[in-house]
């Protein structure tokens, strides 16, 4: 892994689930770490005190001057509107965050120079209903939601700025990321939502028949992929997943066994804009980034439950 002594890394969304894990790892590698987060979903308690925190929004013009002042060598861009359902209700706000916010960062990179921008995109929402599984990066892009469209539009801007202005980048198309610190009050983190509900003695809700399948990748493995992309993958896009499909029913049953929950889940209607089944082929990441997932689903679920048990005991 790249050592960061003397280098500055900016993490957008660094108070969030994935971003805060990345901040901790970068600090451990010796980077000076700067966090930009508007705290719309991120939490102050997630931010490592050794990082420099700026309460700001990537859609604001001020972020460009902030980057000029801090002079980061690397930008890890994780700040995003991530709710598929919200994107169908307010496509303009979704595009403002995911497209305009990314353009602000690219303009700063063009004007003031950075070594590289590493962009956290989506694999689960990009390919639509897959023609084949696991999806490779060559699979047709056919999103079913404004969220998928906005994330792909940002990818296209990255490619354009690379071509026109030599802004270096790597895109990581992540599968369904889960693990400690995931928000149990949102909609995008089924593992966190189910875990919190069962630990509190409430039945979680399974939307649809529960046979819809996802590719679940543990957060520490996603952090490894970000670090691999510092020195590799220039101008390329990579799937970051396990290649395995796991049903929502299986997630519920596995968590129920780990937690010792005795009741059934409630059922709700299938949600608009969701892909029914998908997994990601990460062979290209293995070959070019040197990245492969290291955490099994059972181990990752156990570590996630342990974290949420501690937070429930602490009353957080």
- pTM to 2 decimal places: 0.94
**Looking at residues 4-27, what average pLDDT do you find?**
96
CA nearest to 147, candidates 99, 102, 187, 87: 87
CA nearest to 96, candidates 153, 54, 171: 153
pLDDT band at 46 (very low <50, low <70, confident <90, very high): very high
Say how many C-beta atoms besides its own lie within 10 A of residue 238's C-beta: 28
**Looking at residues 229-256, what average pLDDT do you find?**
97
Flag whether pLDDT at 229 surpasses 80. Answer: yes
pLDDT of residue 2: 58
Flag whether pLDDT at 188 surpasses 70. Answer: no
**Looking at residues 184-211, what average pLDDT do you find?**
91
Domain boundaries, the chain: 8-178+217-242+280-294
pLDDT of residue 186: 67
Flag whether pLDDT at 278 surpasses 80. Answer: yes
Flag whether pLDDT at 1 surpasses 60. Answer: no
Flag whether pLDDT at 79 surpasses 90. Answer: yes
Catalytic entry in 147, 152, 161, 178: 147
Distance CA 42, CA 32 (A): 20
Distance CA 152, CA 254 (A): 33
Distance CA 193, CA 186 (A): 8
Per the CB < 8 A criterion, the answer to whether 277 and 213 are in contact is yes
pLDDT band at 275 (very low <50, low <70, confident <90, very high): confident
- Is 147 an active-site residue? yes
Phi–psi pair at 312, nearest 5 degrees = -65, -40
Distance CA 271, CA 63 (A): 35
pLDDT band at 272 (very low <50, low <70, confident <90, very high): confident
* Strand residue runs (E) in the chain: 8-12, 32-37, 52-55, 74-77, 116-122, 169-174, 176-178, 205-207, 213-214, 216-218, 236-240, 246-247, 266-268
pLDDT band at 94 (very low <50, low <70, confident <90, very high): very high
**Looking at residues 275-300, what average pLDDT do you find?**
97
* 159 Rama sector, left if φ>0, alpha if ψ -120 to 50, beta otherwise: alpha
When the pLDDT of each residue in the chain is averaged and rounded to a whole number, the result is 94
Flag whether pLDDT at 274 surpasses 90. Answer: no
Q: What percent of the chain has pLDDT over 90?
A: 88
Residue 206 burial class via C-beta count within 10 angstroms: exposed 0-12, middle 13-18, buried 19 and up: buried
Distance CA 16, CA 22 (A): 10
Q: What percent of the chain has pLDDT over 70?
A: 97
CA nearest to 126, candidates 157, 150, 93: 150
Q: Under CATH, to which class is 8-178+217-242+280-294 assigned?
A: alpha beta
pLDDT band at 316 (very low <50, low <70, confident <90, very high): low
Flag whether pLDDT at 83 surpasses 90. Answer: no
């Amino acid at each position: 892994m790249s050592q960061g002594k003397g280098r500055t890394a900016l993490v957008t969304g660094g108070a969030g689930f994935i971003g805060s894990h990345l901040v901790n790892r970068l600090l451990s590698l010796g980077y000076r770490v700067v966090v930009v987060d508007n705290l719309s979903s991120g939490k102050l308690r997630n931010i490592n005190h050794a990082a420099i925190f700026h309460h700001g929004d990537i859609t604001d013009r001020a972020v460009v001057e902030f980057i000029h002042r801090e002079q980061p060598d690397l930008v890890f861009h994780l700040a995003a509107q991530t709710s598929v359902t919200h994107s169908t209700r307010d496509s303009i706000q979704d595009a403002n965050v995911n497209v305009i916010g990314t353009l602000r960062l690219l303009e700063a990179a063009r004007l003031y120079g950075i070594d590289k921008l590493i962009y956290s995109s989506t694999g689960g929402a990009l390919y639509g209903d897959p023609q084949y599984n696991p999806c490779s990066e060559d699979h047709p892009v056919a999103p079913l939601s404004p969220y998928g469209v906005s994330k792909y539009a940002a990818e296209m801007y990255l490619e354009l700025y690379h071509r026109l202005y030599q802004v270096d980048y790597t895109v990581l198309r992540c599968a369904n990321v889960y693990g400690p610190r995931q928000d149990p009050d949102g909609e995008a983190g089924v593992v966190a939502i189910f875990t919190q509900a069962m630990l509190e003695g409430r039945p979680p809700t399974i939307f649809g028949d529960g046979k819809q399948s996802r590719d679940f990748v543990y957060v520490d493995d996603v952090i490894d992929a970000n670090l691999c992309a510092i020195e590799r993958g220039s101008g390329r896009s990579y799937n970051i997943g396990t290649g395995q499909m796991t049903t929502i029913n299986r997630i519920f049953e596995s968590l129920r066994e780990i937690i010792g929950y005795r009741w059934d889940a409630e059922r709700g209607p299938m949600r608009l804009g969701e892909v029914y089944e998908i997994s990601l082929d990460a062979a290209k990441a293995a070959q070019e980034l040197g990245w492969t997932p290291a955490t099994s689903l059972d181990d990752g679920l156990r570590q996630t439950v342990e974290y949420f048990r501690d937070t429930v005991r602490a009353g957080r």
